[in-house]
A and B are shown apart, each in its own frame.
Chain A
Amino acid sequence: MDLLYLILRAFIQGSIYALASIGLSLQWGVLRNLNFSHGAAITFGAYIVWFSLESLGFTYLFAFIAMLLASFVLGIAIEWLTVKPFFAKNDTNIFIATVALSSIMAQVYHIVFGGRQKFMRPLVDQLIKIGPLQATVQELLTILITAFTLVVLWFILQRTKTGRSIRAVSQDQVGAILSGINTRRVYSTTLGVATMLAGIAGMLLGPIYFVSPHMGESPMVKAFIIVILGGLGSLKGTVIAAFIVAMVEVLVGRYIGVTWAPMMLFIIMIMILIFRPQGLFGVSNRKA
């Protein structure tokens, strides 16, 4: 029964990881570049929700909507500042610029909201127990929200025009331009959507951990490992890898020791890079 409980925990953990990393994977698919400010975007979402709830007195629904809007705008701003000036000219500079931006953003949170950890109240504060299994309602909601977000994302990518152009650009940049897609706009939209996804992850992380200026960094490291494991640009792979990573973390943490979990993940990452660099579900041989 112990095992069943661990699987439940891994499922909760994994769904947050999936949200945190899918935006990263989406951006990689379209821009072929790494956005290091993704962790700061996760923190951003958490802070906006916290601020709306505590200081503005919004309900959760309005806080959620406010966070989505703010994150989208932030994503477009990130694109404008760090991607637009360097794109296709110097890819390293995009990375360095996002590194600098993430440092700036963390410090802005520090100044605006203070360094102290903030407690974000959960949506529903209740504990559910079924036999040996127990979880807070918030955690179960986390799974539901993740599932819902992923379905919506899938729908957008498959059915809407914007989603189709995002997929087109991520398959073939030149082909997309030739068929009349405004790639410039696709880049902005993608970063906006990815930042929204990061924001949702931040909102869900808030009640579990505390809200603090650097809270997004450790999920971002996990997200890096996840996107490599799942294959950069493969959304299906990313989701599956998120659950694998969460499972490894929970099992290693339970049976070997909590401090060994990161080492284990690191070893897995090296193994994957040596034997299957394109990741479990990644498409290789595309221009990286």
Chain B
Amino acid sequence: MLKTTDNNRKLLLFYILMVLSLLALPLFIKNAYIMHLVIMTCVWGVVVNNWNLTLGYGGMFHIAQISLFAVGGYMSGIFINELMISPWLGLLVGGIFAALVSLIIGLPALRVKGIYLILLTYAFHYGIKELTDHFREITGGSMGLVVPRFRMAGVALQNWQLYYVILALLAVSVLLNWMVVRSYIGKALMAIRDSDILANSTGINPYKFKLMTFVMAAFVSGVAGAFYASYLSVIGTEIFSFTLIVNALGMIVIGGMGTLLGPMIGSFIITFFMEIFSGLEDYRPILVGAVIILVLLFAPDGLIQEGNKRWERWKSRGKKKSEELEV
């Protein structure tokens, strides 16, 4: 009993330290490019965090998260350009449209599961891409859509200021996920994931809970998409490239599916991994793919869990030895 509280206190200390170091990060990073990478890590962190909520906790294996992210970015960009709203309002617009679109795909698609859900969302991904091509007058087609950057009092924000914006969004996203996972919704969701028949027979409506989480995750991803578009000041059709899906999936798998913080660590690893090997331009997708397969083979619960397991085993082995010595 005492030990658990001790553990909890340690964990709390760890979290506080983590938050503080994340807040102080711009003080230490002077290199603009590394700052950019950190921001991108946070952007993908939000996306995979929410994808993981539906995929790891909800058991809905869909690949629509990136498409919803793109919807957020495009809709916010279109509204900013056509209706002259500010990019800050664009964040909200992106979220709302991503949620609306997720409702359109979620209403029919979440009635089915497994392979059907994968296929439907994959087709949906391509459908969104086709639509973007179709309306190229307002989306910019393959040239991309130019989106104004964030401003405050008429001055364009610096990267370190934008870092706090995306960090806030990431924090909201993580907190939201944490609350969902701990609440009745999360419990229901995990029950559905483990056996939807059993969940259904205990009075949980799988469809309702799945849809709720799916739309919520879409909203946050949409906001992240709007941030992404405004931050890079352009969003193009390469957002639909398959590599992005593989990378994001890799982040989840490497960090550990169905864990709260794992995917973000995965996002960090993949983003910087891509950068470290930037000299190997063409070989990067092969490396990422190979890493995904290797992790699936040797650490199916993700690197964090696997590391924990190894650490525990190593610790307990040492203990056993010392006990043996005492005897």
Contacts and interface: CB of A to CB of B under 8 A. Distances in A.
A224 B61 contact: no
A179 interface: no
Given A100-B293, A103-B246, A263 B130 contact: yes
Contacts of B307: none
A107 B286 contact: yes
Interface in A193-227: 214, 217, 221, 224-225, 227
Nearest to B133: A259
A269 B133 contact: no
Q: Chain A interface mostly helix, strand, loop or mixed?
A: helix
Interface string B102-129: 0000001101101110111011101100
Interface string B235-253: 0000000110110011001
> Contact size class for B?
35 or more
Interface string A82-118: 1001100010110111011111101110110000000
Q: Chain B interface mostly helix, strand, loop or mixed?
A: helix
B282 A107 contact: yes
A100 B250 contact: yes
B123 A277 contact: no
B228 to A, nearest CB: 22
A111 B126 contact: no
A240 interface: no
B281 to A, nearest CB: 10
B89 to A, nearest CB: 30
Contacts of B131: 263
Given A217-B242, A262-B127, A269-B123, A85 B115 contact: no
Contact of A96 (B243, B283, B290, B296): B296
B288 interface: yes
Interface string B281-319: 011011011101100110010000000000000000000
B83 to A, nearest CB: 25
B286 A273 contact: no
Which A-B residue pairs are the 8 nearest by beta carbons? A104-B289, A100-B292, A100-B289, A107-B285, A103-B246, A224-B119, A103-B289, A259-B134
15 contacts: A81-B293, A99-B245, A100-B246, A100-B290, A103-B246, A106-B285, A107-B285, A224-B123, A228-B116, A259-B134, A265-B123, A266-B123, A270-B120, A273-B120, A288-B114
Interface of B: 61, 108-109, 111-112, 114-116, 118-120, 122-124, 126-127, 130-131, 133-134, 242-243, 245-246, 249-250, 253, 282-283, 285-286, 288-290, 292-293, 296-297, 300
Given A28-B115, A269-B123, A270-B120, 9 more contacts: A97-B293, A101-B293, A106-B242, A107-B289, A111-B283, A214-B242, A221-B126, A224-B119, A273-B120
